[in-house]
């Protein structure tokens, strides 16, 4: 028994390092702006990049459940790390538009597999009351990778760190090295996996649940959360460039600011939710996002825009976990199907940027903010459906 506990403690570190690699997907927002500057892309072409990344959640979330059943959770996570490493390697070979589309597609596929398999893997290490706190801490570690990415890109672009001629693409070298270490450490770590119980979810099982009104509301809530998340990553620097006349390098910190406050929100949310009901905390979070959209729509100063970006970062940090938990509570006998469906909801990261790209091209950056505002209003409406 003591040996098993020691193995679990040793396994905790490589698993948390893998959570860090889960955050690699969030570099796509800042990277798309750099690709636009390098290649002179239109707004719709730029927003298509993050849309493509999150499209793969629709395709790979449920099949990953089948893969876990066949090869185990740890091996499935290792597959996701392998796909992620390949995605980080391709941009080092060039920066053409189509090469970037392939690279970011692989990044999305790897992340879809990882998001579906890594959380269940944690249940083999931690159980009971500590599970939720451990998963929340994993999201905190993931958020660190998210806010570091724009900073590293900017340092590479202005030669504040050795970039070896790669400019902002040095991020793929840095994160590639971390990804290799995470893969090696996880591969060498022994994790005893519990047998998977119950039947594996299929597409038909998942989509049937959309006929349940509250499950459909939860699914749409997840889509809005991810749409706002991805949209803010891409739009925040554009707002500063458009309103304040900043260069991309000056405005790149906006994405980091969003993730800094999202990191703070992830860390503090696990404590706040011990004393405040989910309904109350969700209402406060949704109102923060609505207020943020107003500031981002009409703010003309650095303080107003930074405040809006910080508010949406903190407000959006715990939306996913609350909606996910509400969906599971609503269908306790079909948690496998609900879990697969909610991960499919990350497809919102495809839908929102597509509409935002066209709106931005037609009306300017405020058009993109208006699309996100629709999602924010929906989250405020969803609050009314959460049971006390």
Confidence of residue 9 (pLDDT cuts 50, 70, 90): low
**Neighbour-count burial of 63, counting CB atoms closer than 10 A to its CB (0-12 exposed, 13-18 middle, 19+ buried):** middle
Please state the rounded mean pLDDT for residues 165-176.
89
Confidence tier at 43 by pLDDT (50, 70, 90):
confident
Alpha-helix residue ranges (DSSP H) falling in the chain = 2-22, 27-39, 43-71, 73-89, 97-122, 130-157, 170-188, 203-208, 213-244, 248-251, 253-272, 278-298, 302-315, 319-330, 335-344, 348-363, 365-383
| One-character DSSP codes across 31-86 | HHHHHHHHHT--HHHHHHHHHHHHHHHHHHHHHHHHHHHHH-HHHHHHHHHHHHHH
pLDDT value of position 375? 96
DSSP 30: H
Predicted confidence at residue 330, as pLDDT, reads 82
Tally of CB atoms within 10 A around 1: 5
Question: Is there a contact between 88 and 51 (Cβ–Cβ < 8 Å)?
Answer: no
What lies within 8 Å, CB to CB, of 125 at 6+ separation is 8, 11, 12, 15, 134, 191
Q: Is the pLDDT of residue 171 over 80?
A: yes
Who has greater pLDDT, 199 or 283? 283
Opening angle at CA 82, ends 349 and 50, nearest 5: 20
12 phi-psi bin (left φ>0, alpha ψ -120 to 50, beta other): alpha
The band of 2, judged by pLDDT with boundaries at 50, 70 and 90, is very low
Residue 1 reports pLDDT greater than 60: no
Q: Would you state the pLDDT for residue 121?
A: 83
At 277, the pLDDT band (50, 70, 90 cuts) reads: confident
Residue 385 or residue 335, greater confidence: 385
Query: Which residue from 109, 84, 33, 131 is spatially nearest to 328, judged by alpha carbons?
Result: 131
């Amino acid at each position: 028994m003591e040996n098993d506990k020691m193995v679990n403690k040793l396994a905790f570190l490589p698993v948390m390092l893998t959570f860090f690699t889960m955050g690699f997907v969030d570099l796509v927002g800042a990277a798309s702006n750099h690709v636009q500057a390098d290649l002179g892309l239109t707004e719709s072409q730029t927003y298509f990049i993050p849309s493509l990344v999150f499209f793969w959640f629709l395709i790979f979330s449920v099949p990953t459940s089948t893969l876990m059943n066949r090869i185990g959770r740890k091996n499935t996570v290792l597959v996701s790390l392998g796909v992620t490493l390949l995605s980080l390697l391709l941009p080092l070979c060039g920066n053409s538009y189509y090469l970037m589309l392939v690279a970011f597609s692989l990044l999305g596929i790897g992340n879809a597999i990882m998001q579906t398999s890594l959380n269940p893997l944690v249940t083999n290490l931690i159980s009971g009351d500590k599970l939720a706190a451990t998963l929340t801490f994993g999201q905190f570690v993931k958020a660190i990778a998210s806010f570091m990415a724009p900073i590293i890109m900017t340092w590479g672009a202005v030669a504040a760190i050795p970039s070896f001629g790669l400019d902002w693409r040095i991020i793929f070298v840095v994160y590639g090295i971390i990804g290799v270490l995470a893969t090696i450490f996880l591969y060498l770590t022994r994790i005893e996996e519990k047998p998977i119980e119950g039947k594996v979810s299929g597409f038909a099982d998942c989509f049937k649940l959309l006929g349940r009104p509250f499950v459909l509301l939860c699914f749409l809530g997840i889509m809005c959360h991810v749409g706002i998340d991805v949209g803010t990553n891409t739009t925040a620097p554009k707002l500063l460039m458009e309103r304040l006349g900043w260069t991309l390098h000056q405005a790149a910190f906006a994405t980091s600011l969003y993730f800094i406050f999202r990191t703070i929100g992830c860390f503090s949310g696990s404590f706040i939710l011990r004393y405040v009901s989910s309904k109350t905390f969700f209402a406060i979070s949704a109102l923060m996002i609505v207020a943020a959209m107003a500031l981002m729509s009409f703010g003309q100063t650095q303080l107003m825009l930074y405040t809006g970006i910080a508010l949406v970062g903190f407000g959006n940090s715990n939306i996913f976990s609350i909606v996910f938990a509400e969906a599971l509570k609503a269908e306790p006998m079909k948690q496998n199907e609900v879990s697969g469906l909610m991960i499919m909801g990350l497809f919102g990261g495809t839908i929102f940027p597509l509409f935002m790209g066209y709106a931005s091209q037609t009306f300017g950056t405020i058009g993109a903010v208006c699309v996100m505002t629709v999602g924010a209003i929906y989250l405020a409406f969803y609050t009314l459906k959460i049971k006390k």
